[in-house]
Structure formats: structure tokens, C-alpha cells
Amino acid sequence: MTDVRHTPVAPTRTQRLAAGGEIDAHRHDDHQIVYAGRGVLTVSTGAGSWVAPATRAIWVPAGTVHAHQAHGDLELHLVGLPARENPLHLGTPAVLAVSPLLRELIIAYTRDEDHGSPESMRLRGVLLDQLRTSVHQPLHLPTPSHPLLRTLCDLLRADPSDNRTLAELGREVGASDRTLSRLFGKDLGMTFPQWRTQLRLHRALVLLAEHTPVTQVANQCGWSSASAFIDVFRRAFGHTPGTHAR
């Protein structure tokens, strides 16, 4: 990422982005919690991307260069926290589960214009307590650094429905499936099937935010059937794609 904007204080506010809208690469000296009350949000860094529907929020540590992209009409809620205050004890971005209570706390706090008032400070305290117990979600799609993996992953990013095996893809990029398997573990910290599933879930969330029918999402993302897609989606997010779309 180039031309990085530096904003020392991470804002606490509500912001709206139209579908396809972006916030260019920037960084803060503060930590930030980014939550989409409506739509789906992607946060990208040099290490990969994190995607969050309305049941998830993204933790962005202080100093992290990141960019935002909206999928569907996005209602963005931003909570800034001083660098000395890290309730999650995390030094890297992460996706967090958002309970109904935490959702309402984030929305109420970011819509409050007087964050120094006693009422707002009490609200903030409860919000931080809820964050400390929030479950981390494995919704990170890492970006490979090895040239062979970059080429292979770009093929699948262009077409997540590509169902070729690792050996078949390896023949196209010029490497054995054994070599590629080793690189996935070493470079990305996950197996090839795990990475491809993450890619497909990311794309599915984007398509659902664009009101694409569930059967069509399953087809475009490479699942063998709508029921197979629904099963994987439910296990990842705790609800069905149809419920998510509504």
C-alpha cells in the first residue's frame, strides 16, 4: 500500500459508505474496532484481508496500515481506543463475534457525540467488558508472499468456483502438490482446503451483500450444491445464508 494517510487519533463515529465505496490505506496511533451494522465490510492489510458481516467486528491494532471496502450499502461504526488500552491483548487484526448486546453497545456509543460525558463513559466501560469476552473468529484470508502461491491464489481469486485439485493447479503454476502443500503451511499457516474455503466464504458474503440468490452464490463460489454451501456457511457463521441476507 502506498500513499498511506496517517491519522493519529482513530475516530469514534458512525459513517455511511455506498456499495463499492472505499476508505484508502491509512493508519492510526490508536487501536480501532470497525463494525458494519449494515452491509459487509472488508478490511485489507499487507498481510491479507478480513471480512465481517453484521454478526462480526474487526479489531485493527494501532499502527496497522489498512483500507476499508463496502459491499452493499454500509453503515460503519468506528470505535477508537488509545494504544495503551488493549482489552483483547492482540497485536494483529482479528475478527470478533458480536453478540446482540455488543452490537447495541457499539451502535449507541458511536452515535453519541459527547464521549466525555459520564453516561458515555459508563457505556464505554460495558462495551470494553463485552469485548474482553468476545470470541475470535477464523475469517482471515492471508495474502501469500511466495511467487508460486501468489500465482495459484490469484487464479482462485479470479474464479472461486474453480474446483481443480492442488495437483492440477500445480501443473499450471509449475510445482508439485507436495511443494505447494508445504508452502501453504509455511507461508500462510493453513492448508490449501482451508484457504480455499476462506476465499469462498469471503466471496459468498460479498455476493449475499449484493442480494445474489443463495443458489447462485453456491454455484459462483464452487460448492457442489446449495445445501453443501448452506452447511459450511452455518458452521462458519452460526446461521444460514438466507437468514444472513434478510
In this structure, the number of other CB atoms found within 10 A of the CB of residue 137 comes to: 20
In this structure, the number of other CB atoms found within 10 A of the CB of residue 28 comes to: 24
Question: Any idea what DSSP says for residue 184?
Answer: I
Could you tell me where the DSSP H helices lie in 112-238? Answer: 118-132, 147-158, 166-173, 177-183, 192-209, 214-220, 226-237
CB of 131 within 8 A of CB of 33?
A: yes
CB of 77 within 8 A of CB of 68?
A: no
CB of 135 within 8 A of CB of 96?
A: yes
pLDDT in tens, 26-75: 999 999 999 998 888 899 998 899 988 888 899 999 999 999 999 888 89
CB of 105 within 8 A of CB of 41?
A: no
**CA 215 – CA 218 distance, rounded (Å):** 5
Please give the grid coordinates belonging to residue 8. Answer: 493519529
CA distances to 34, 120, 122, 152, 198 from 114, in Å:
19, 7, 12, 49, 39
pLDDT tens-digit profile, the chain (246 residues):
456 888 777 889 999 988 889 999 999 999 999 999 888 889 999 889 998 888 889 999 999 999 999 988 889 999 999 998 888 888 889 889 899 999 999 999 999 888 888 999 999 999 999 988 887 776 789 999 999 999 999 999 999 999 999 999 999 999 999 999 999 999 999 999 999 999 999 999 989 888 899 999 999 999 999 999 999 999 888 788 877 656
- Phi and psi angles of residue 207, each rounded to the nearest 5 degrees, phi first: -65, -40
CATH assignment, 144-245? 1.10.10.60
CB of 22 within 8 A of CB of 1?
A: no
- Phi and psi angles of residue 227, each rounded to the nearest 5 degrees, phi first: -65, -35
Looking at residue 193, what is its pLDDT?
96
As a whole number of Å, the CA-based R_g of the chain is 19
Q: In 3D, which of 237, 232, 165 has the Cα closest to residue 200?
A: 232
Measured in whole angstroms, how far is the alpha carbon of residue 40 from the centre of its chain? 9
- CATH 2.60.120.810, domain 5-140, yes or no: yes
User: Can you give the residue ranges of every domain in the chain?
Assistant: 5-140, 144-245
